[in-house]
């Protein structure tokens, strides 16, 4: 019993630590979480973690919160699920709400030091992102040279399709990138290809999938080479139909083991029962209700706020930046909060602090709703708490539903193929995230008085220090985070400011 409690505390401490230092949010935290809970703490197996990543990647909501939900659920059931999700999201939300409440009283120098800290931690996370890509290629090479070649091509193709905006920004190119596809669009292409072809590239499969994907990319790419809404919509429908047909063929004609049996699921600890599913849904419902009680007492608009918050969370595909546009439509355009509160205060804060942008933004909106009633900071905190609960629960609910479906049909061959090829796909996306984070460091460095060159030098110095300590000294995340934070503050204050 004591050992079990210690293991539970270790997992929760690891998740909380990641929540505190989670600059970059979203996809950027995949390798950070993996190194902490799989490699350093050895709390879960890599195969189980990869499964959480797959489900979180295809599910709307806050990706780090969803991964934490999976980790907590597998280890400690409904209780662990809620606690883990809470701990992942809470640090960033707490910092956001506190910063909003004291914004007019905070010395600008504090913001500068936070930005210096973010430069150091961004370099640390960038190091983990490249190591994730390297390890993914090494794993493929261990299996066979042929698999390595395919994995490498997939990773580079995903990077090329998604990196346009980030690369153009760093190079100072003002033109519109040719591709610049979103994460959702890239994953959609990948899943379509896997579902339809089953990775069997005969002449028919190659021609049909290849031509369809090329046309789709030309339609949705940033350059808008083909601007025809009817063709784009038709391609999406066509891809969906072919994907469903591929799933049917795979299941119908023996290209899988079919659905996993109840015995297999029970043995794996994931048997889908009405009682188990109901317990998880009730847990999330209670999570929202209990944390929203103060908000319900304060304002009758809490119901509307929570409904819109839940809806905005479950339609939030494409990461934090995409959620900001959704939140604008749900809360700014409808007059729930003022435009200057959202763009001049909230957006600038959520982009500089660690954690999920979705959770920070929804809680921040709640703060302004409560504060604007009669200028009470405490009322702002109360409604922000409801928004925090809503964002976490919405992400957790959708994740649990999709996770059970994935578990149930994991025996189907195409789902095995997703598990087989997800790492090079994610690796390509993470390389794009790394480029985006480097550009963000450049923006931060120049904003506090430095030049592009000196900011890049500081970033890569901290990057290589992390790389050496990681590979040679086998340093853990805690040490690397501390060193990166200290170096970020010291070097930025000594050189940039």
Q: What is the pLDDT of residues 217-266, one digit of tens each?
A: 999 998 889 999 999 999 999 999 999 988 887 766 544 444 444 454 45
The whole-model pTM stands at: 0.80
DSSP state of 410: T
Residue 478 is predicted with a pLDDT of 81
161-to-132, 139, 243, 315, 482 alpha-carbon distances in Å: 19, 23, 21, 23, 35
Residue 208 in this model has a pLDDT that exceeds 90? yes
Buried b (16+ CB within 10 A) or exposed e, 48-65: bbbbbbbbbbbbbbbbbb
Residue 212 is predicted with a pLDDT of 96
Contacts of 237 (CB under 8 A, 6+ apart): none
Residue 411 is predicted with a pLDDT of 65
Structure tokens at 340: 């200057």
Average pLDDT, the chain: 87
Residue-wise pLDDT for 406-415, tens only, equals 877 766 666 7
Q: What is the mean pLDDT of residues 300-324?
A: 84
Residue 226 is predicted with a pLDDT of 93
Angle ∠(121,126,132) on CA atoms, nearest 5: 130
Residue 3 is predicted with a pLDDT of 65
Residue 293 in this model has a pLDDT that exceeds 90? yes
411 backbone dihedrals φ, ψ, rounded to 5°: -70, -20
Residue-wise pLDDT for 64-101, tens only, equals 999 999 999 988 888 999 999 999 999 999 999 998 98
Query: Is-contact 354 19, C-beta < 8 A?
Result: yes
- Most confident range, picked from 8-22, 24-38, 59-73: 59-73
Residue 318 is predicted with a pLDDT of 56
Residue 340 is predicted with a pLDDT of 86
**Between 452 and 103, where is the model more confident?**
452
Residue 104 in this model has a pLDDT that exceeds 90? no
**Between 413 and 461, where is the model more confident?**
461
DSSP state of 198: T
Residue-wise pLDDT for 239-251, tens only, equals 999 999 888 877 6
Q: What is the mean pLDDT of residues 356-373?
A: 94
Query: Is-contact 35 475, C-beta < 8 A?
Result: no
Residue 2 is predicted with a pLDDT of 65
Which of 322, 317, 292, 290 lies closest to 307 in space, CA to CA?
292
Q: What is the mean pLDDT of residues 149-162?
A: 93
Residue 257 is predicted with a pLDDT of 47
Contacts of 319 (CB under 8 A, 6+ apart): 25, 26, 27, 63, 182, 183, 357
Residue 261 is predicted with a pLDDT of 47
Structure tokens at 203: 């002449």
Which of 23, 121, 25 lies closest to 485 in space, CA to CA?
121
């Amino acid at each position: 019993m004591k050992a079990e409690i210690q293991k539970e505390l270790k997992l929760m401490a690891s998740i909380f630590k990641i929540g505190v230092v989670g600059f970059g949010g979203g996809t950027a935290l995949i390798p950070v979480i993996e190194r902490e809970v799989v490699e350093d703490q050895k709390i879960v197996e890599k195969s189980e973690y990869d499964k959480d990543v797959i489900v979180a990647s295809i599910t709307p909501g806050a990706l780090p919160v969803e991964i934490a939900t999976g980790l907590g659920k597998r280890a400690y059931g409904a209780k662990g699920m809620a606690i883990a999700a809470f701990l992942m999201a809470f640090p960033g939300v707490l910092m956001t709400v506190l910063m909003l409440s004291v914004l007019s009283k905070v010395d600008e120098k504090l913001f500068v030091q936070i930005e210096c800290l973010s430069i150091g931690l961004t370099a640390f996370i960038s190091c983990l992102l490249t190591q994730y890509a390297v390890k993914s290629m090494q794993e493929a090479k261990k299996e066979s040279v042929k698999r390595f070649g395919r994995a490498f091509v997939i990773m580079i193709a995903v990077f090329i399709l998604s990196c346009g905006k980030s690369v153009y920004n760093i190079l100072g190119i003002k033109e519109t990138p040719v591709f610049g596809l979103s994460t959702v669009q890239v994953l959609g292409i990948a899943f379509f290809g896997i579902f339809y072809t089953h990775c069997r590239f005969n002449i028919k499969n190659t021609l049909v999938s290849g031509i369809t994907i090329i046309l789709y990319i030309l339609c949705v790419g940033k350059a808008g080479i083909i601007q025809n809404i009817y063709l784009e919509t038709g391609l999406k429908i066509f891809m969906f139909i072919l994907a469903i047909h591929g799933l049917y063929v795979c299941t119908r004609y023996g290209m899988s083991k079919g659905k996993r049996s109840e015995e297999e699921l029970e043995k794996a600890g994931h048997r889908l029962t009405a009682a188990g599913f109901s317990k998880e849904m009730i847990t999330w419902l209670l999570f929202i209700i209990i944390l929203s009680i103060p908000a319900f007492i304060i304002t009758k608009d809490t119901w509307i706020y929570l409904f819109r918050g839940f809806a905005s969370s479950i339609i939030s595909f494409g990461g934090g930046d995409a959620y900001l546009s959704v939140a604008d439509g749900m809360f700014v355009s409808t007059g729930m909060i003022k435009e200057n509160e959202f763009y001049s205060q909230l957006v600038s804060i959520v982009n500089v602090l660690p954690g999920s942008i979705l959770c920070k933004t929804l809680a921040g909106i709640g703060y302004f709703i409560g504060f604007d009633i009669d200028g009470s900071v405490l009322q702002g905190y109360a409604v922000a708490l409801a928004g925090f609960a809503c964002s976490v629960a919405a992400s957790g609910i959708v994740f649990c539903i999709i996770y059970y479906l994935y578990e149930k049909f994991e025996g189907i061959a195409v789902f095995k193929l997703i598990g087989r090829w997800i790492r090079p796909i994610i690796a390509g996306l993470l390389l794009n995230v790394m480029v985006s984070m480097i550009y963000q460091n450049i923006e931060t460095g120049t904003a506090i008085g430095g030049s592009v060159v000196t900011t890049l030098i500081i970033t890569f110095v901290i990057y290589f220090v992390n790389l050496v300590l990681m590979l040679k000294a086998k340093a853990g995340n805690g040490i690397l985070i501390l060193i990166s934070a200290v170096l970020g503050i010291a070097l930025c204050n000594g050189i940039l400011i």
